[in-house]
Amino acid sequence: MEKRSIADKVKNIDGKESKLLASFNKASLDEERFLKQKAKVHWLAEGDANTKYFHNTLKCRNHRARIDVITDSNGYLHEGKAVPKAFVDHYVGFLGKEDISVIPITPELFDVRIDQAVAVDMIREVTVDEIKRTI
């Protein structure tokens, strides 16, 4: 009798814990969405006005998108000012070749196929209502 009572209490605690975890995850997602919207509002208000904020934002984006180090096809590491040259050398070598073998696309490459109805559904127009429901 007592063992059963303990097992029931553990199940009850597990249920409460999972409800609290779900509640926390929802609150966390709501907070993240709120902060994204707040940042977007700030960007719309300040971002296009040729302000210091706008220029700092662009500088940060460019810094994140920059490639500082790259390894070429021979395994050599290129850093700093050698990175652009490594890219140019790669594409000159790649695009300058005449005997590039292209693997033909054969039906055997694609084992899994979707049926026609699903394919048509994937390329259809998206309605405003669907966008609102998703957001």
Q: Dump pLDDT digits (tens) for 74-95.
A: 889 999 899 999 999 888 877 7
Asked whether residue 49 is domain-assigned, the answer is yes
Give a yes or no: residue 6 inside a domain.
yes
Give the residue, 48 or 82, on which the prediction is more confident: 82
* Residue in this structure with the two tokens 């026609």, named with its chain if needed: 116
Distance CA 85, CA 91 (A): 10
CA 65 to chain centre: 14
pLDDT of residue 102: 72
User: Residue 128: inside a domain, yes or no?
Assistant: no
Mean pLDDT of 56-76: 85
Per the structure, the count of domains in the chain is: 1
Classify residue 42: in a domain, yes or no. yes
How confident is residue 133, by pLDDT bands cut at 50, 70 and 90?
confident
Residue type, 131: I
The whole-number pLDDT of residue 1 equals 52
43 within domain boundaries: yes
Measure the CA–CA gap between 90 and 130, rounded to whole angstroms: 44
The parent domain of residue 44 ranges over 1-65
pTM for the model stands at: 0.34
* Amino acid 7: pLDDT: 67
